[in-house]
Chains A and B, each alone.
Chain A
Amino acid sequence: MNSEDAPDDLELIRRSKRGERAAFGQLVRRYQKRIYALCFRLGGSHDIADDLTQEAFIKAYEAIESFDENYPFYSWISRIATNNAINFIKRQKRQVGGEEGETILNTQPTTGSGSNPETAISQKEIAARFQAAIDNLAEEFRVVFVLRMHEELSYEEIAARLKLNPGTVMSRLHRARQKLVEELKDLLEK
């Protein structure tokens, strides 16, 4: 379908509210990559991102009647995806029995050790190391960092989304950056 012919979000949302699953399917196709990327950043693996993306869209469809049409659909679905991912991380933490701040998802890559800066590291390996460093952040730091750097939300927006003070957002973001700088020191020095 030509993009000019494609129905806008509002139309698809209204049709979804009437129970048209195909219309919601179009919304899924429109936003799934962004949501998937967000879930990947928060969840740390493709399998998790896959599950979280599915859950987010299904929850959204189940609650589509409550969606306020005055606001962008992406803002809503990304909130759902974020909350969903946070709850997943917390459940994961409880299941693993991890302490606060402990690494939950150990996705440290086996390649591209940063111990030797002289080693040529491919872009793919850098991406893997970067993601592993994010995964190593405690949930409260990880979420704030991802919302800021990936979703490019302002402090106020992050605060509203996570029900935090902007001051708390700032301090968590600072801590997240400090930890990441420490962990990726060799990459950043290059």
Chain B
Amino acid sequence: MDKAYLEENISAFLDGELSAEEMAQFERELKKYPDLMEMVERMRKLDQLSKSTLVEMPEDKYFDQLARRIEAKLPEKRSAAEDDTPPKRAAVIDLLAANSRTVKIVGSVAAVLLVVLIGVKVFSPTTPRYPHQLRSIEVAPAIERQKAKKTEPAQSVTPEPESEPGRQVQPVPEAEAGAVGKSAIDTTKQKAPEESGATSSDAMKNAEQPKDQSTGLTTKMEPQSVIVQDQAIKPAMLDTSRRMNQMNLVKEAEPLATMSMQELPTSSERLPADSLRPFAYKDLGYSNNPDPDVFAATVLDSLAARPGIDMEALAAESMGKRAYMNKSGNSTSNTAAGAAAPDTSTINLVAEAEYTYRVAVSNSSNLYDIILAHRLAEQVLKKRIDIATWSKRLMELSRLEQLERNRFQEFKATH
């Protein structure tokens, strides 16, 4: 134990966070450095002061009033029975039941709306969720056109999830489509080649390049579930409202994408309007639990307090294996989200964040992955990594994913 190590671990020593053996060794080594011993002594006194200095609490009368004020501000809640049928919806149902003519009118309007919505879905440009998708969307059509030249023209762009071999990502049930944000994936995938006239010469060049061996990510990019248009009447409606939210998210995130490296926030605390929050919250049923603080507390509480769950191990397992251990050979780098791993490359961090996010949003039960992805995204920003680099990498991921999908289509066509 050198002096630097001792100094770094004084707090752990004072808080009894070292093992018994380490404690004994620490104490022995500490005696060699009088200045450190003095520091330990002062910190001990500080801890004593902290414990003996209680918060000066107001009188009980104050707390009576505080409790009353809180109670008075508590919102009225609907009973469980009422919750099954929300009042507004119940009122509409009552109205419809009372008047069959109304049913016809409402039905007609709904049918027209559906047609319009489907039309919007098919013909309007897809609103990208994140800034990087503004560019990544341009890649897919170019690749598709290139592939179309080589293969038969009737080749479908959208794979059918049910028949995908070796598929690992669970498709989101239709009923959950509104609550679970698959948008980061779907908005890109629903973009048919003919929908956009965008061209990307880079993408054309890249399309036939061999897959990126530096990350090995192509092998992990399973084709994702795709909403097939003629089966997507309900999701189309849900998508429309979701897209409205996405537009807001994009607005929030856009400033980050346009910032230069120097302008990037040095800390997540200074991000404009908590721009990264959507990554973690929006797709986690945030609408059911709209306060991010409560939401984070609920999710983390249930994970962290659950016996047998090792948060660090979970993080390492979720985020670390592919990029950190396999590729960098850093078998000891099992810190949460890999953020502290000194030999972890930026590219891997970013790739893992995006990949995990994509997987997580495809699987509504995997809440923790989304939080980890959020944390990684924060780390990326904290480290002042150029957003352009991030976007470039995400574009590359999108391209590789597209190639994988094309390969799958070819496989399907030939088998």
Residues of A participating in the B interface, judged by any CB pair closer than 8 Å: 17-19, 21-22, 24-25, 28-29, 32-33, 36-37, 40-41, 46, 50, 53-54, 57-63, 66-68, 71, 75-76, 79-80, 83-84, 87, 90, 93-94, 100, 123-124, 126-127, 130-131, 139, 148-150, 154-157, 159-161, 163-168, 170-171, 173-174, 177-178, 180-181, 184-185, 187-188
User: Is B298 a contact partner of A66 (Cβ separation < 8 A)?
Assistant: yes
Given the known interface contacts A25-B71, A100-B267, the answer about A180 and B46 at a Cβ–Cβ threshold of 8 Å is yes
21 contacts between A and B (CB under 8 A): A22-B71, A28-B71, A33-B63, A36-B57, A37-B54, A37-B55, A58-B73, A60-B294, A61-B75, A63-B291, A63-B294, A68-B301, A83-B296, A130-B53, A155-B17, A161-B300, A170-B17, A174-B10, A177-B43, A180-B46, A188-B46
Whose C-beta in chain A lies nearest to the C-beta of B54? Answer: A127
User: Is A76 a contact partner of B46 (Cβ separation < 8 A)?
Assistant: no
**B350: chain A residues within 8 A (beta carbon):** none
User: Is A76 a contact partner of B42 (Cβ separation < 8 A)?
Assistant: no
User: Is A126 a contact partner of B11 (Cβ separation < 8 A)?
Assistant: no
Residues of B participating in the A interface, judged by any CB pair closer than 8 Å: 8-12, 14-15, 17, 39, 42-43, 45-47, 49-51, 53-58, 63, 66-67, 69-71, 73-80, 266-267, 269-270, 288-289, 291-298, 300-305, 311-312, 335-336, 339-340, 371, 375
**A188: chain B residues within 8 A (beta carbon):** 42, 45-46, 49
Other-chain contact of A90, B269, B312, B375 (Cβ < 8 Å): B269
User: Is A79 a contact partner of B66 (Cβ separation < 8 A)?
Assistant: no
Whose C-beta in chain A lies nearest to the C-beta of B73? Answer: A58
User: Is B305 a contact partner of A71 (Cβ separation < 8 A)?
Assistant: yes
B329 to A: closest C-beta gap in Å? 21
User: Is B291 a contact partner of A148 (Cβ separation < 8 A)?
Assistant: no
Given the known interface contacts A21-B74, A68-B301, A177-B11, the answer about A59 and B56 at a Cβ–Cβ threshold of 8 Å is no
Given the known interface contacts A28-B67, A54-B66, the answer about A168 and B46 at a Cβ–Cβ threshold of 8 Å is no
**B10: chain A residues within 8 A (beta carbon):** 174, 177
Other-chain contact of A149, B17, B47, B71, B340 (Cβ < 8 Å): B47
User: Is B291 a contact partner of A18 (Cβ separation < 8 A)?
Assistant: no
User: Is A165 a contact partner of B297 (Cβ separation < 8 A)?
Assistant: no
A123 to B10, CA, bound (A): 28
User: Is A174 a contact partner of B8 (Cβ separation < 8 A)?
Assistant: yes
A106 to B190, CA, bound (A): 53
Given the known interface contacts A28-B71, A80-B297, A163-B300, the answer about A184 and B49 at a Cβ–Cβ threshold of 8 Å is yes
Given the known interface contacts A25-B70, A62-B294, A126-B53, the answer about A79 and B300 at a Cβ–Cβ threshold of 8 Å is yes
Whose C-beta in chain A lies nearest to the C-beta of B82? Answer: A19
B270 to A: closest C-beta gap in Å? 7
Whose C-beta in chain B lies nearest to the C-beta of A24? Answer: B74
**B11: chain A residues within 8 A (beta carbon):** 170, 173-174, 177
A181 to B304, CA, bound (A): 32
B300 to A: closest C-beta gap in Å? 6
B46 to A: closest C-beta gap in Å? 5
User: Is A94 a contact partner of B71 (Cβ separation < 8 A)?
Assistant: no
Other-chain contact of B50, A61, A84, A87, A130 (Cβ < 8 Å): A130
User: Is A160 a contact partner of B73 (Cβ separation < 8 A)?
Assistant: no
B236 to A: closest C-beta gap in Å? 29
A161 to B166, CA, bound (A): 36
Other-chain contact of A76, B79, B297, B303, B311 (Cβ < 8 Å): B297
User: Is A93 a contact partner of B269 (Cβ separation < 8 A)?
Assistant: yes
Whose C-beta in chain A lies nearest to the C-beta of B303? Answer: A160
